Every structure is written in structure tokens, then in C-alpha cells.
């Protein structure tokens, strides 16, 4: 049987659509004065560890929500919600990043109107999350010492789109022969505006410097 088809014009820019939704997220969050922070890193770089320290330091000051995006499981969401902040586990179903649409749905499910501050722990990956704007006010990436100081050369986009580069696990610097200055230089070559931090989320070293910066950023953004 011969099938007959009509042509339907669509003309939708798939990638631009992500930017449109990200723009909408920014609008909504501006309206509710909710500061939204996108946390990106490789698996195991210390996203959850740093989140815990950050939440402990700021939870009396701001009402905080967290979205944990993972391919599967809910271990991080359990850890975070034990701190007494509103937490949502998002399953990406094997996807390697959060896009703006999934983020928007997550924000609505979490409920954002009454929150001052929301963190997204993005899927552990240095490639894809960098390509998808999720409407955050601040883009933070963590690079942990065991990954090596050459990562800006291998994953340039992540360093280009991030406002902050947090070098974590500096308690292990000697073991891994990590050259912090060289790493910062490589990152700055890609993004002169990037703000570097050097800390240990586990031992707490220099975490206060990060907290001070973040607190200042949030205050500035919300006023």
C-alpha cells in the first residue's frame, strides 16, 4: 500500500529552545528573588562534600533548596536532606546532563517561590553540562586534585562557561603533584574572568573563603 504524506513545516531551533527556557527560568527566579547556582564537576570531584559544607554555613541565613541530578539512585539526596533543607532527586534516565526543560520542571516540583537559594548538583561530567544553560545565576565548576592540572586543556568549554573554578582536595596536592598556579593560568587563558578557589571540602581548609565569596554574591544578586 502506497502511503501519502503531507509536509508539515516546523522550523524549530532545538538548541535555541534550551536557551529560551533558560531565559524563562532566569525571569521566574528573578521575580521570586531566588538565587540559583549550578554546580558541575566530574563524578567524585566533591560536589556533595562542598554542598554539605556550604549548606551548613548558610542555612541559618537563607532558606535553601537542592536539586540532585543523577542518572540513578538517591544517595546524595538522602545525605543532603538530612541537613534539613528541601531536596529533590532528579533522575536523568541515563542522560549525561541537565537541560533547561528538565531543570524548570525540577524547580517547579521542588517549589522555588519561597526559597532564597537553590543549588543544582548537576550530573557528574565535564563535557555535556557545559553545553546546556540551565538558567543559573552562578556557574560553579569543581576540579579535584587527583584529576590533574591539565583539565582546562582537555575540557575547555567547562572552564569557559564557569564563573568559579574550585580546586578541591588540596590536602592531596603533594601526592598528585598538582600545580595549582599552572592550572589557574590554563583556566584564565580560556576565561580571564574565572574566579579560582583552592580548598579542601573534606578537611575544611579555605572553605571559609568560598563561603564568604558566595555569601557576597548572593547578597549582591538578591538586593
Supply the minimum distance, in Å, between the C-beta of residue 212 and other proteins. Answer: 35
DSSP lists the bridge partners of residue 120 as 38, 67
- Contact partner, 8, from other proteins, ligand GTP, Mg ion, none, Cβ < 5-8 Å per class: other proteins
Supply the minimum distance, in Å, between the C-beta of residue 219 and other proteins. Answer: 34
Dihedral (Cα; 42, 171, 180, 132), 10-degree rounding: 20
CA distance 59 to 117: 9
Name residues contacting other proteins, limited to 4-63 (CB under 8 A).
Answer: 4-18
DSSP lists the bridge partners of residue 90 as 69
Please report whether residue 99 would count as binding ligand GTP according to CB under 6 A. Answer: no
Beta-strand relationship, 138-144 and 35-41: parallel
Name residues contacting other proteins, limited to 88-107 (CB under 8 A).
Answer: 94-97, 99, 101
- Contact partner, 49, from other proteins, ligand GTP, Mg ion, none, Cβ < 5-8 Å per class: ligand GTP
State phi, psi for 38 to the nearest 5 degrees: -100, 120
Q: Toward Mg ion, which CB reaches closer, 88 or 184?
A: 88
Query: Contacting ligand GTP (CB under 6 A), which of 38, 48, 89, 139?
Result: 48
Instruction: Count other C-beta atoms under 10 Å from residue 135's C-beta.
Output: 22
CA distance 50 to 199: 10
Q: Which residues sit at the interface with other proteins, rule CB under 8 A?
A: 3-18, 94-97, 99, 101, 127-128, 131-132
Amino acid at each position: 500500500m502506497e502511503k501519502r504524506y503531507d509536509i508539515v513545516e516546523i522550523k524549530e531551533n532545538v538548541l535555541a529552545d534550551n536557551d529560551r527556557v533558560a531565559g524563562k527560568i532566569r525571569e521566574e527566579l528573578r521575580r521570586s528573588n531566588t538565587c540559583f547556582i549550578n554546580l558541575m564537576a566530574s563524578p567524585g570531584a566533591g560536589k556533595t562534600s562542598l554542598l554539605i559544607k556550604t549548606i551548613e554555613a548558610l542555612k541559618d541565613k537563607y532558606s535553601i533548596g537542592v536539586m540532585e541530578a543523577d542518572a540513578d539512585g538517591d544517595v546524595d539526596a538522602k545525605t543532603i536532606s538530612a541537613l534539613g533543607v528541601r531536596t529533590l532527586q532528579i533522575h536523568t534516565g541515563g542522560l549525561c546532563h541537565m537541560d533547561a526543560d528538565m531543570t524548570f520542571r525540577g524547580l517547579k516540583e521542588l517549589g522555588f517561590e519561597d526559597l532564597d537559594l537553590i543549588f543544582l548538583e548537576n550530573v557528574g561530567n565535564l563535557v555535556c553540562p557545559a553545553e546546556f544553560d540551565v538558567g543559573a545565576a552562578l556557574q560553579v565548576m569543581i576540579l579535584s586534585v587527583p584529576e590533574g592540572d591539565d583539565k582546562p586543556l582537555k575540557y575547555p568549554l567547562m572552564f569557559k562557561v564557569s564563573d568559579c573554578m574550585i580546586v578541591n582536595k588540596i590536602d592531596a596536592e603533594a601526592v598528585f603533584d598538582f600545580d595549582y598556579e599552572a592550572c589557574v593560568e590554563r583556566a584564565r587563558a580560556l576565561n580571564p574572568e574565572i574566579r579560582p578557589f583552592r580548598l579542601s571540602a573534606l578537611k575544611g581548609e579555605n572553605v571559609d573563603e568560598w563561603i564568604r565569596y558566595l555569601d557576597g554574591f548572593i547578597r549582591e544578586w538578591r538586593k
